[in-house]
Chains A and B, each alone.
Chain A
């Protein structure tokens, strides 16, 4: 569905003509019907990649294909839906005029434009705002109408740049549901984000981009199994200060919460020794919870590795 090969972008900025490598040798693939999460910290190059795919900027080198057609083929965009980051729209248009305008750009007939606009506005929960000018929209509403315009042509591939940005938890859930709905209908979704909890729920595969380099790709499961560290979280009660001090020697992190103490351990062995320590000193183990590595851990790890280069 989507493929890049050695995609690179160098920006030249300022009077001193300083060169910034925004993207370095990006090669990746997105298969039909999958939801691919493109992750990375701010400034990693996610938006640059998406802009190149959408023809907003030109790559310095490398190639990319959308649905087996090389970039620059305007016809491909018939089947692509795009939502840019923090979108700005013509704020003097009303919601209905806005949807009608985009419908025209796809060459849709009047009846079809009306039908799809109404359906999509309903789908994103904006039917009530049909005659409201976009300048009066809240951020969440703008995001939602942004998604509506991305879907006006019933695209096969949907590309979203930070679709959850600036939304409250309810808004995020709504966007997530819309994305899952699209997935159920067999659409392919490529989206960038740095909000990780959503990713674990929706994505089939992810790619982690740091400073313009693709550090890892794979399913969430594959990436997690590469993580060796996991941790144990132990909550104890009834220990005196010297016992707590000994506990600190074994654990990676200790927090005191009122009468209880919460300690984290890097491995099972240390956790076992800590348990014995607690019983010997007359304390109680209130709870013991194993944590598997989260996507956040992988993310942080990859960023750390890149920065160490």
Chain B
């Protein structure tokens, strides 16, 4: 119940934040602009719109996840808003969980808005309602909640600037992990191989969540795969949240 109260409060905080609105506005704008941009290009216009739109949904979502996520905890501590909360009969982990779920809720709203816009664009273009891309949207959402959990973890002990840097690094490396492994296999040095393999297994492989190309080009994605990706995401989220709770529980709020 208390977790719910914090989550709702966090939701209000993000929703009333100008940065959030600005980002959503630009995301919608980009989707709209993709219609205009498609007329400039050669090839299947519809597919280009779909590609751009899903891509924007993804990248703007990541930006929101990072830039709001890093502030989740740190802002509370710097602005001392956390003082009156933690002094109430609420466990620190409940507070942390509430903040995280509040942002996930906000991201869900964002995804819904973007999906609606996307469907509207498709409708305008093709005259019918499409739902084939929903599996791609689901996995995009999984990626977003993993990134958010990463940002949350860093924000429990680091300043916003550093947290942003670390989270972005995780995001970038997360999309390059398969290359990392390939690099590891090719290198002669044993140490390098071990380190690269370690990174490969340790960091989330965010490419797992990218089935946008398949969706756009009509390639079927099995439910088994979807289930795998969702479980993969949830596993990472669980580990990241657990680590965040441990750090948050034991630190001083100076």
A55 touches B9 (CB 8 A): no
Interface: A282 (CB within 8 A): no
The complex places the Cα of A75 from the Cα of B88 at a distance, in Å, of 9
What is the CB-to-nearest-CB distance from A91 to chain B, in angstroms, rounded to a whole number? 9
A88 touches B16 (CB 8 A): no
Chain A CB within 10 Å, residue with most, of B13, B85, B250, B252: B252
The complex places the Cα of A143 from the Cα of B252 at a distance, in Å, of 24
Interface size band for B: 20 to 34
Interface: B89 (CB within 8 A): yes
Interface: A102 (CB within 8 A): yes
A87 touches B13 (CB 8 A): no
The complex places the Cα of A86 from the Cα of B252 at a distance, in Å, of 19
Find A74's partner among B9, B79, B91 (CB 8 Å cutoff): B91
Interface: B84 (CB within 8 A): yes
A54 touches B86 (CB 8 A): yes
- Could you tell me which residues of chain B, from 137 to 194, have a CB within 8 Å of some CB in chain A? none
Is the contact region of chain B dominated by helix, strand, or loop, or is it mixed? Answer: loop
Find B84's partner among A78, A86, A87, A107 (CB 8 Å cutoff): A87
Size of the A side of the interface (Cβ < 8 Å), in residues, is 33
A54 touches B254 (CB 8 A): no
What A residues does B250 contact at CB under 8 A? 58
B86 touches A92 (CB 8 A): no
Interface: B130 (CB within 8 A): no
Interface: B36 (CB within 8 A): no
The complex places the Cα of A227 from the Cα of B12 at a distance, in Å, of 56
Please encode chain B, from 1 to 25, with 1 for each CB lying within 8 Å of some chain A CB and 0 for all others: 1100100010011001100000000
With both beta carbons as reference points, the residue of chain A lying nearest to B88 in the complex is identified as: A105
- Could you tell me which residues of chain B, from 73 to 91, have a CB within 8 Å of some CB in chain A? 79-81, 83-91
A77 touches B5 (CB 8 A): no
Known: A92-B13, A93-B12, A107-B2. A102 touches B88 (CB 8 A): yes
Interface: B198 (CB within 8 A): no
The complex places the Cα of A146 from the Cα of B87 at a distance, in Å, of 13
A78 touches B89 (CB 8 A): yes
The complex places the Cα of A76 from the Cα of B5 at a distance, in Å, of 20
What B residues does A106 contact at CB under 8 A? 88-89
What is the CB-to-nearest-CB distance from B19 to chain A, in angstroms, rounded to a whole number? 12
What A residues does B90 contact at CB under 8 A? 74, 105
Find B85's partner among A51, A80, A83, A105 (CB 8 Å cutoff): A105
What B residues does A80 contact at CB under 8 A? 87
- Could you tell me which residues of chain A, from 66 to 87, have a CB within 8 Å of some CB in chain B? 74-78, 80, 82-84, 86-87
- A contacts, CB < 8 Å to B: 11, 51, 54-58, 74-78, 80, 82-84, 86-90, 92-93, 97, 101-102, 104-107, 146, 149-150
Listed A/B pairs (14) with beta-carbon separation below 8 Å: A54-B83, A54-B87, A56-B86, A56-B87, A57-B254, A77-B87, A82-B83, A83-B84, A84-B83, A84-B84, A84-B87, A89-B84, A102-B84, A105-B89
